[in-house]
Chains A and B, each alone.
Chain A
Amino acid sequence: MGKYLNKVFLIYWKDIRDEVRSFDNLLSTILFGVMLIFIFSFAFQLADLDVEQAFSAILWVSIFFSSVLAIQRSFAKEEENNVLDGLLLGTGDRGSIFLAKFLCNLTILLIFEAVITPLLWIFIGASGVKASLGLLVPALFLGSWGLAAIGTMLNGMTVQLPAARLLFPILLFPLMVPVLVAVIQCTAAAFAAPGESVAAWLYFLASFDLLFVIVPLLLFDYILEG
């Protein structure tokens, strides 16, 4: 078990270092997210709609779209020189590769959100509204977890198909509907007056997240079969 986690961490750390080194990639993803929230909040203002209430919707639509860019890169590094073969020979197990990639994607999404969430909060001029961080942070974390888990699994497939770049979001979004429903409830509640409890939604998200780490772990042998 220790050995297994060691290898997961080794691959994870290697990926993070690679991300840091090719920082411009991460930067473009963040920039894309910033553009999205800018266009959304500006468009809402232009149409004279209540942008404050749309906070959670704008935030998550932006995260969903940007996640496509972020996650789609996760297996690209391995495609370059068939490094995946090298990883497989070294780990002797495909699940550990999934876990490492999943954790890396989760980290990137969290960094991304740490930038755009406060920015959106400023853009929509909700400075007067008190946000409950105790609710917002778990919502962001659990939502990104689900996105990273399913995204990593699907990217493991699409990266092996020729010309499947467009396929990725088509496969991803329908599977993310339960997360979308739950996470928007939680995020909206974080800005609403305390009262309505969303604890049940958080439990729902947590079980979804758990389920979609276990399912890919079981299926990843089939995905990276070559």
Chain B
Amino acid sequence: MESPWRKLSCLALMILLPVNIFLIFIYAPVEKTMGIVQKVFYFHIASAWIGLLAFVLVFIASILYLRKREAALNRLALASAEIGTVFITCTLLTGPLWAYPIWNTWWTWDPRLTTTLVLWFMYLAYIALQSGGETENRQRFAAIYGIVAFINVPLVFFSARWWRSIHPLVITSEGMGLTAKMRVALFASLITFSLLYVYLLQLRYRSLSLKERVNELKSKLT
């Protein structure tokens, strides 16, 4: 039952995670004006990246599900959506932590923030659609929603950005100068988080498969 990939990614994570923490907190210098709070940025960007990556996987798995109708593909999409939700939640939580001391506000309707929030809503809607019984209907509808929601993401971003370009924001997140060392730490974060995503995806996929297997055995017994 143990897949070699899961062991491998687990092992790699055990090495990469401490290395990443070292790079973020010790190797990369403290930002001059923002201070220590800037460290949250490495987690924030990496979680947002995983949130998007997970959504791409939901999209692809949904298309494949509609074509092949294999429950495994639906499980993959669901697992990815659940993990994506967790990471987007991290993004939404870490954002204000940084924004409050720097921008002096918890929240602003910046296009990126708006899109992230809408993405989070769509993830939750997707999961709500899937919860409440693993019927064929629900799986099919979830796949359709996964596709439509994905098409919608760039539209949300575009409309929010366009609106902001007409009513310009006082605060911008531009001009965040990164030193070479900071870039290394950010890059390491992206890799580590991606690996963490892959590892969690395998775990969740396996647990969903086992759940299905239990249901199958149960139905055979009765």
Binding site for B on A (CB under 8 A): 150, 153, 157, 160-161, 163, 167, 170-171, 173-175, 177-178, 181-182, 185, 196, 200-201, 204, 208, 211, 215, 219, 222-223, 225
Contacts and interface: CB of A to CB of B under 8 A. Distances in A.
B140 A173 contact: no
Contacts of B132: 161, 163
B159 A175 contact: no
Given A160-B137, A178-B158, A167 B128 contact: yes
Interface of B: 66, 114, 118, 121-122, 124-125, 128-129, 132, 137-138, 140-141, 143-145, 147-149, 151-152, 155-156, 158-160, 162-163, 166
A57 to B, nearest CB: 13
Contacts of B162: 181, 200-201, 204
B137 A215 contact: no
A171 B129 contact: yes
B125 A171 contact: yes
B125 A174 contact: yes
Contacts of B144: 157, 219, 222-223
A157 B141 contact: yes
Contacts of B152: 174-175, 177-178
Main secondary structure of the interface of A (DSSP, over half): helix
Nearest to A198: B166
8 contacts: A170-B124, A175-B148, A177-B159, A181-B163, A185-B163, A196-B166, A201-B162, A215-B148
A201 B121 CA distance: 24
Which has the most chain A C-beta neighbours within 10 Å: B121, B125, B158? B125
Contacts of A200: 162
Contacts of B156: 177-178
B168 to A, nearest CB: 14
A211 B159 contact: no
Nearest to B66: A222
A153 B124 CA distance: 19
A161 B148 contact: no
Which has the most chain B C-beta neighbours within 10 Å: A153, A163, A177, A223? A177
Which has the most chain A C-beta neighbours within 10 Å: B114, B144, B158? B144
Given A170-B125, A175-B122, A211 B141 contact: no
A204 B159 contact: yes
A153 B137 CA distance: 14
